[in-house]
């Protein structure tokens, strides 16, 4: 399901239309022309289609206004279906120069646009604008200032009649025209039929006369005054006629657009008043939220909302299409998040095709690029790169972004604007399981300080991808438990998914004993304020017991979960995820070894298990042998006879063959226990530095220590 229109696909601001062209022109007098102006290619999101037509105004081009031509819209016909408008405009010559200019206005001339003065978008609180002082856009241009980046002291913001008004002080004097302007008028008329910018050329014929007064002696006089250049990138500004002194009226060229680098330095007024004008009052209208240049730190409501699971789950319920539809939306404010609608999302039904490989390099690159452009996140990331999205925000996406999006996600511009990725499902094809490429992308996002959150339907919680310092892998952790995870000492349970309830009582007693033991220890891995976490494989049996006990005792319950769903020609027991998991990472079956390396346990605990447990035993042994981890004690829970049958023959065989010369000391890392108290005695001696463990420790002929 492809969406034809989306606000981000429009490069026009939604409060204005493109410039309209003269379709018909009729002279009523030498100073009054009636023109029919036709406007096409209006954005379907133009606010003027939605509000009271009385709030839609014609805005004449400032070039004409500076010459003395005012344009008053009299009748408006807007067609939302065809995205067009037709406006009857009275063109009024304020002075003699403007009378001459009217003669050069022809059919096809672009003379102005429409502005939608939506009351809902009027800036009411001065703080909205004041926080932009001293800030700049990506190009270094001020977001709001008068006379330069730090020119905020010359721009006074006040609240008048429930709206924010800025009073711009006028410079001494006024502008007048050199005689050469009359010969330039034909060029102005021709330029209006093209895309050639003409306003700067008109300035060549203007003369600044600092000693002239800023008042209007007669009604056929144009007053051109000047302020310091107003830089405004965060809102539309509009001259407030009813706040001008009595007798003054500004032309309809009263709108200052945010895409002009230094606008608002010349203002065109007419009327009659002996009172000298001192300032220009401006009111403001907000841009679309994603174009406001607003910083994430300024969005208090959004920050509060994204910490509420209920808000995020409800937001995802508004995503269009079925579970198989990829959908994404970029959110920049709390109100937007709380009121999402299906049409706010970009929805795509993408289909992955096998790429041909480097033997067909050009075709491969083309297919990858097309696949990237099919992703629902693409329009948003492209809009950020193109400076259409200027506000910082978060991305909601039904599925974790494809690793092929890495180039765009980690671009300099996106990295500055994207303050969080929120997704519900790791994969469309593999449901809840990440690929190796996914985890690599998670690692890169973490390095580039782009937080990634799993709005997890399984746990009904918000989980943030978190890495401990020094590790290149991590877990998705409940946001309120991240600090606990980062500081925790990690225990782990290895054992069969087929056996349950054989050790729950002893495990609970032992883990509670370790929690109590913290008060008397001062070891790097166990101190009074050291939190604990416990990691399992996340399945049933021994793993479920471990996660249950951990959660019950307030220990962070974690799991590294593998996709063990039944495969053809494989003997793998289906392993449902147990319901006691708080923090997790998932893996596809082909990355079983990689998953095991990422348990990162400080203290493994082994229970009765089969081939998988034997595999995990060997990996923990190798990790200590090669020095990846310190020689910490490994608990073997069960009868000595069981462990003697499993471990001793292999240990003695390797000894006899001479293949573990120098590594026999590993036998002092394994401690066979039957009770919680025996395990606690091992840990207590270790944390007090009394346990003979490591290369300088003894060698045990069984390959492990039997604790009595």
Q: Which two tokens stand for residue 211?
A: 């000693």
* pLDDT value for 598: 86
* pLDDT value for 261: 57
Task: Evaluate whether 242 touches 274 at the Cβ level (below 8 Å).
Answer: no
* pLDDT value for 609: 86
Q: Which residue intervals of 395-487 are DSSP H helices? A: 406-409, 412-417, 436-447, 482-487
Q: How far is CA 676 from CA 139, 533, 609, in A?
A: 64, 18, 19
pLDDT tens digits, residue range 350-393? Answer: 666 677 777 777 878 888 888 899 999 999 999 999 988 999 99
Burial class of residue 448 (count of CB atoms within 10 Å of its CB; 0-12, 13-18, 19+)? middle
Q: Which residue intervals of 24-153 are DSSP H helices? A: 62-67, 96-102, 126-130
**Ordered DSSP codes for 391-410:** S-EEEEEEEPPPGGGHHHHT
* pLDDT value for 263: 54
* pLDDT value for 150: 52
Pick the CATH number of 122-173+213-287 from 2.70.40, 3.40.1190, 1.10.260, 2.170.140: 2.70.40
Q: Which two tokens stand for residue 581?
A: 């998991």
Burial class of residue 144 (count of CB atoms within 10 Å of its CB; 0-12, 13-18, 19+)? buried
Q: Which residues contact 648 (CB under 8 A, 6 or more apart)?
A: 701, 702, 703, 704
Q: How far is CA 181 from CA 62, 207, 281, 491, in A?
A: 16, 11, 29, 84
The parts of the chain modelled with pLDDT lower than 50 are 1-4, 571
* pLDDT value for 497: 73
49 secondary structure, DSSP code: G
Q: Which fold has domain 490-552+586-708?
A: Rossmann fold (3.40.50)
What CATH code is assigned to 1-118?
2.40.30
All structural domains of the chain with their residue ranges: 1-118, 122-173+213-287, 490-552+586-708
pLDDT tens digits, residue range 274-304? Answer: 999 999 999 999 999 899 888 898 889 999 9
* pLDDT value for 2: 43
Of 515, 501, 509, the closest CA to residue 554 belongs to: 515
Give the 3-state secondary structure of residue 460.
coil
Give the CB-side neighbour count of residue 358, counting CA atoms within 13 A.
0
CATH topology identical between 122-173+213-287 and 490-552+586-708: no
Of 458, 460, 452, 441, the closest CA to residue 482 belongs to: 452
% of the chain residues with pLDDT over 90: 73
* pLDDT value for 564: 79
């Amino acid at each position: 399901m492809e969406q034809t229109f989306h606000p981000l696909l429009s490069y026009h601001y939604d409060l204005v239309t493109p410039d309209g062209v003269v379709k018909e022109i009729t002279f009523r007098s030498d100073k009054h022309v009636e023109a029919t102006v036709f406007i096409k290619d209006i954005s379907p999101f133009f606010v003027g289609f939605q509000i009271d037509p009385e709030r839609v105004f014609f805005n004449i081009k400032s070039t004409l206004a500076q010459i003395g031509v005012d344009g008053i819209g009299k009748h408006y016909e807007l067609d939302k279906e065809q995205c067009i408008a037709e406006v009857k405009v009275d063109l009024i010559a304020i002075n003699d120069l403007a009378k001459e200019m009217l003669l050069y206005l022809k059919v096809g001339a672009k003379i102005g646009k429409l502005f939608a003065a939506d009351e809902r978008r009027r800036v009411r609180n001065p703080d909205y604008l004041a926080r932009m002082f001293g800030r700049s856009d990506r190009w270094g241009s001020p977001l709001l200032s008068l006379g330069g980046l730090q020119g905020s002291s010359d721009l006074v913001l006040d609240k008048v009649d429930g709206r924010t008004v800025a009073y711009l002080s006028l410079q001494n004097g006024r502008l007048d025209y050199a005689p050469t302007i009359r010969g330039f008028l034909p060029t102005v008329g021709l330029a209006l039929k093209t895309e050639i910018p003409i306003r700067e050329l008109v300035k060549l014929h203007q003369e600044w006369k600092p000693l002239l007064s800023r008042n209007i002696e007669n009604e056929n006089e144009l007053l051109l005054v000047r302020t310091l250049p107003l830089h405004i990138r965060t809102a539309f500004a509009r001259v407030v006629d009813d706040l001008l002194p009595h007798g003054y009226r500004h032309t309809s060229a009263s709108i200052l657009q945010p895409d002009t680098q230094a606008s608002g330095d010349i203002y065109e007024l007419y009327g009659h008043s002996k009172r000298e004008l001192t300032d220009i009052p401006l009111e403001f209208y907000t841009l679309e939220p994603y174009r406001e240049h607003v910083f994430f730190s300024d969005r208090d409501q959004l920050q509060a909302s994204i910490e509420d699971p209920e808000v995020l789950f409800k937001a995802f319920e508004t995503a269009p299409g079925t579970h198989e539809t990829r959908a994404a939306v970029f959110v920049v404010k709390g109100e937007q998040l709380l009121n999402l609608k299906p049409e706010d999302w970009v929805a795509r039904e993408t289909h992955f095709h096998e790429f041909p490989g480097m033997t067909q390099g050009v075709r491969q690159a083309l297919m990858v690029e097309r696949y990237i452009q099919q992703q629902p996140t693409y329009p948003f990331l492209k809009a950020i790169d193109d400076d259409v999205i200027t506000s910082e925000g978060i991305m909601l996406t039904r599925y974790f972004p494809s690793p092929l999006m890495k180039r765009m996600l980690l671009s300099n511009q996106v990295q500055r604007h994207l303050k969080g990725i929120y997704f519900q499902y790791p994969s469309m094809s593999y449901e809840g399981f990440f690929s190796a490429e996914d985890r690599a992308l998670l690692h890169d996002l973490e390095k580039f300080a782009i937080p990634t959150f799993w709005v997890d339907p399984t746990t009904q919680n918000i989980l943030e991808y978190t890495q401990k310092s020094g590790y290149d892998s991590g877990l998705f952790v409940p946001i309120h438990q991240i600090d606990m995870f980062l500081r925790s000492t990690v225990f782990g349970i290895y054992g069969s998914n087929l056996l349950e309830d054989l050790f729950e009582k002893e495990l609970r007693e032992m883990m509670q004993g370790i929690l109590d033991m913290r008060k008397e220890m001062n070891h790097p891995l166990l101190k009074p304020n050291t939190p604990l976490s416990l990691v399992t494989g996340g399945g049933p049996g021994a793993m479920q017991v471990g996660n249950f006990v951990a959660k019950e005792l307030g220990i962070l319950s974690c799991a590294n979960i593998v996709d063990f769903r039944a495969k053809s020609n494989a003997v793998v027991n289906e392993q449902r995820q147990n319901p006691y998991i708080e923090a997790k990472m998932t893996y596809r079956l082909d990355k079983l070894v990689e998953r095991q390396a990422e348990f990162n346990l400080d203290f493994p605990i082994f229970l009765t298990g089969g081939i998988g447990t034997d595999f995990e035993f060997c990996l923990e042994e190798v990790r200590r042998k090669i020095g990846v981890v310190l020689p910490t004690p490994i608990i073997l829970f069960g009868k000595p006879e069981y462990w003697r049958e499993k471990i001793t023959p292999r240990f003695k065989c390797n000894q006899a063959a001479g293949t573990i010369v120098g590594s026999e000391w590993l036998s002092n890392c394994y401690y066979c226990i039957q009770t919680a108290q025996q395990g606690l005695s091992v840990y207590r001696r270790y944390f007090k530095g009394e346990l003979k463990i490591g290369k300088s420790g003894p060698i045990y002929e069984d390959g492990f220590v039997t604790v009595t």
